Structure 1
Amino acid sequence: MRHDPIDHDFERGLNNRRAILGDAWVERSLANANSFNSDFQNLITRFAWHEIWGRPGLEQKTRRAIVLAITAALGRWEEFELHVRAALLGEASNRLTPDELKEVLMQSAIYAGIPAANTAFTHAMAILHELGPQIGYTLAPVAPAASHHPGTGFEGRSGGKPSLHYSVRAPRSGKAPRHTVVLSHALGCDLSMWDALATALAEDCRVLAYDHRGHGGSEAPAGMYDMATLADDAAALLRELDTGPVLWIGLSMGAMVGQELVLRHPSLVRALVLANTTSGYPGATRELWQQRIATVQSQGVDAIGDAVMGRYFTQDFREQHAATVARFRRRVVSTDAVGYAGCCHAVGEVDTTARLGAIAVPTLVIAGELDQGTPVAMAQVLADAIPAAQLVVLQQASHLSVIEQPQAFDHAVRSFIAHL
């Protein structure tokens, strides 16, 4: 027997209903209750708004997305419009941005069908036109052909020689970029190596990634390359895209290019992240690079694929993430042999040690605890020689630390950026 005059399930549901739909809508709904529909209002308040919306297993933003997707799939447009308005005008903790609303409808198109999503976009755009001034959002004209995937960015090719393939992600915040970040990949990789970090940093930064000459979608001129040439390639690209001074994040070869770039073109770089790299190899190691070049020239890149994976990843990672390792092996062995050999020469002959003291920008050095190719001792040389450089060692990471330890890598980079 109930003795408490308060129906707590109803009150809890009503509280959730107000938080999601707003006081004004709930007050109108309650005021319109009558002898015919009051039982239904009581039912949905207790069961939908308390029993479901009151469960802590999902965030309220997630529940909003589920409701929008289902009402669009079922064509319940009155309910859909109600929840679109509520989502755009909701409390800060559970509000959906117009871009988040768009993502819900894009995914609904795949799982609920294009016609449903098409109608949902029509209803949502009408509401955005109405609420735009209130929420600070403008529907600007954009040609469909100019649209691009926000997770990969706009892709292009530079006009110089060699022509370099690149991608640019604009900041998803819609505001002016906090920084322009350039991501420079390792030998035998391409710009997709950076996908996760690039997408994360594009939250508030403009992010440029590119393929070095001889890699990915970039041209592969004949001959042996040197690090100065690779740095000049990068400088030409930055000037063509009018980036201004950039935060350069490079790994292995990409970090060697970053060192040379800031020394040759200091006005183009405002800060450096040098990961899993060195400023120079001893003579015996230089000879190993020459041997690798000879193998690639005589037998092809496939002949070194397994050995490279052994240096790029720890044994534990290779065993636990075989598909990822296989993906990177495919990338390495499909690299143009001329381009790979040319870049091998540049890497093997890298020599910036005596000039490191001239680097006058904030610098973060990242090392992998288990990196045999560029061990922690090499990172320490960089950190000691570059004025005010910081050194971070990532535990349980080998050479491609951004792939093996992505969260730790991301944390190190974000902590560094926060102080720029």
Structure 2
Amino acid sequence: MSIDPIDHDLERGLKNRREILGDAWVDRSLSNANNFNAEFQHLITRFAWNEIWGRPGLEKKTRRAMVLAITMALGRWEEFELHVRAALQGGAPDTRLTPDELKEVLIQTAIYAGVPAANTGFTHAMAILREIGPEIGYTLEPAEMTAAAHPGIGRESATLSKPALHYTVRKARNGAPRHTIVLSHALGCDLSMWDALANELAADNDVIAYDHRGHGSSDAPASLYTMEELADDAARLVRELGCGPVVWIGLSMGGMVGQELAIRHPELVAGLVVANSTSGYPEDVRAAWQQRIETVRGSGIEAIADAVMERYFHADFREKKSAAVAAFRKRLITTDAEGYAGCCNAVGTVDTTGRLPQVKTPTLVIAGALDQGAPVSMSETMAKGIPGAELVVLEDASHLAVAEQPKAFEQAVSKFLAQLPK
């Protein structure tokens, strides 16, 4: 029987070790081997770098993050520094962490291993970033701690103009923003409806989400609103933030606002997404909206809550995602009743069908195949009326398609955004 002279476990381990730490570090380590530590080097190369790092069950970036968290938790700072350097600039580029990803590892470790460990970890990491930052295109710059914002929520504020509109701003994480996007929510919801999509889009775009008047933390004037007023609210938000023209993404009521905004203030809209919406209702449905106003004013929002959830979500979603539905229901019934009734009037009297040809911006219309509140035929009307508009129908989606089919919704939006000029 012949003996293969190649120790494959060792060679695989060396390959992984080089991929993670880089040739320079591994070559230096191997050159420092001696009769005292050579067997130990052999051991860790075969077991740590082959048996563990060679397993395909986790991506190597994930394993990097795990090593950083564990060495930080255990206070193994020499090993921690080694892997910080390697994570930022060593080995294969597709296995590296960005400084922002490294920051997330440190922050999460603070919760699970203690703030003192994270505090020391930040100190070591910043020293390394000061040293190698120019090589990786990263500069530590002064920043105001009180202005820091949760990147998954954004910086919160409200308009100075009245009625005050509560909004959040997520800045693009990957450098200069491709677009500024405004997300406009459905009746009885608030800006948190958009959290998942907003965080996806904020990779390459500045993303603004806001609460319509009468909703969330925005003012709720005691009157019946018009769609023109809601569109003018949107216009002053964009102008106050100095961020126009924007890509407007609106669902249901938010889509109605987007249509009116594009007609009344075309200079503010660079792209329009109208989802699960309509440009007008027949007379019997208009009457139903007026009846809803009377019910809410007489008996409160709770009286209509179950019926609204049935229109917002199809039966299978309500059964399988009952907790998500309960959260939307809670938001609905805690909405200011006067503000909700005011917006019901704006929604029920929407009328842009005859003016749709005035929308000159690139437009995507998204419909839910199961949507009873805004059937596909309503989306077809808008897509035909708006010059050059594209229609996408999402299967297994009812009225709140962004909640029921988040991935399909995000893919449709991302494809549309990719077609817009910067």
Partner Cα separation in structure 2 for residue 2 and residue 240 of structure 1: 79
- Residue 378 of structure 1 corresponds to 378
CA distance in 1, matches of 2:52, 2:45: 10
Can you list the C-alpha shifts for 1:102-141, whole angstroms capped at 9, x where unaligned?
0000000000110101000000000000011000001111
Report the Cα distance in structure 1 between the residues aligned to 2:177 and 2:2, rounded to whole angstroms. 59
What's the counterpart of residue 224 of structure 1? Answer: 224
Secondary structure of residue in 2 paired with 1:250 = strand
Q: Residues of 1 paired with 2:2 and 2:306: CA distance?
A: 72
The residue that corresponds to 1:203 in the other structure is 203
- Look up the equivalent residue of 2:97 and give its one-letter code: L
Aligned residue for 2:217, secondary structure, equals coil
- Distance between the aligned counterparts of 1:313 and 1:250, measured in 2? 18
SS of alignment partner, residue 93 of structure 1: helix
Flag structure 2 segments of 5+ consecutive residues without an equivalent: none
Tell me the distance in 1 between the aligned counterparts of 2:375 and 2:273.
16
Name the counterpart of 2:308: 308
Partner of 2:106: 105
For residues 135-284 of structure 1, the aligned pairs below 5 Å read 135-173=136-174, 175-284=175-284
Structure 1: 4+ residue segments shifted above 3 A: none
Q: Secondary structure of 2:93's partner?
A: coil
RMSD over aligned CA atoms reads: 0.7
> Structure 2 length normalisation: TM-score?
0.99
How many equivalent residue pairs? 419
**Equivalent residue number for residue 362 of structure 2:** 362
Question: In structure 2, what residue type is equivalent to 1:182?
Answer: V
Distance 2:135 2:38 in 1: 33
Q: Cα 1:2–1:186, aligned 2, differ >3 Å: closer, same or farther?
A: farther
Query: Which deviates further from its counterpart, 280-289 or 88-97?
Result: 88-97
* Aligned-partner Cα distance in 1 for 2:357–2:145: 49
Aligned match of 2:134: 133
Q: Which stretch has the larger CA shift, 192-201 or 138-147? A: 138-147
Aligned to 2:60: 60
Residue 302 of structure 1 deviates from its aligned partner by 1.0
Percentage of identical aligned residues:
69
Q: Name the counterpart of 1:29.
A: 29
Give the corresponding residue for 1:75: 75
Q: CA deviation at 1:142?
A: 1.1
In the TM superposition, what is the alpha-carbon distance from 1:144 to its structure 2 partner?
1.4
Give me the whole-angstrom Cα distance separating, in 2, the residues matched to 1:383 and 1:341.
Answer: 29
Corresponding residue for residue 346 of structure 1: 346
CA distance in 1, matches of 2:360, 2:145: 44
Paired with 1:373 and 1:6, the residues of 2 have a C-alpha distance of 68
SS at match of 1:87: helix
- Separation in structure 1 between the aligned mates of residue 303 and residue 56 of structure 2, nearest angstrom: 54
Name the structure 2 match of 1:115. 116
Distance 2:46 2:176 in 1: 45
Counterpart code for 1:56:
P
Q: Deviation of residue 2 (structure 1)? A: 6.8
Supply the distance in 2 between the matched residues of 1:136 and 1:244 (Cα, whole angstroms). Answer: 30
Cα offset for 1:294? 0.3
Q: Which residue identity lines up with residue 365 of structure 1 in the other structure?
A: V
Amino acid at match of 2:81: E
Which residue pairs with 1:332 in the alignment?
A: 332
Q: 1:12 matched to which residue of 2?
A: 12
Distance 2:341 2:27 in 1: 72
TM-score, normalised with respect to structure 1 = 0.99
CA distance in 1, matches of 2:165, 2:320: 34
CA distance in 1, matches of 2:391, 2:402: 15
Question: How far apart are residue 92 of structure 1 and its match?
Answer: 1.6
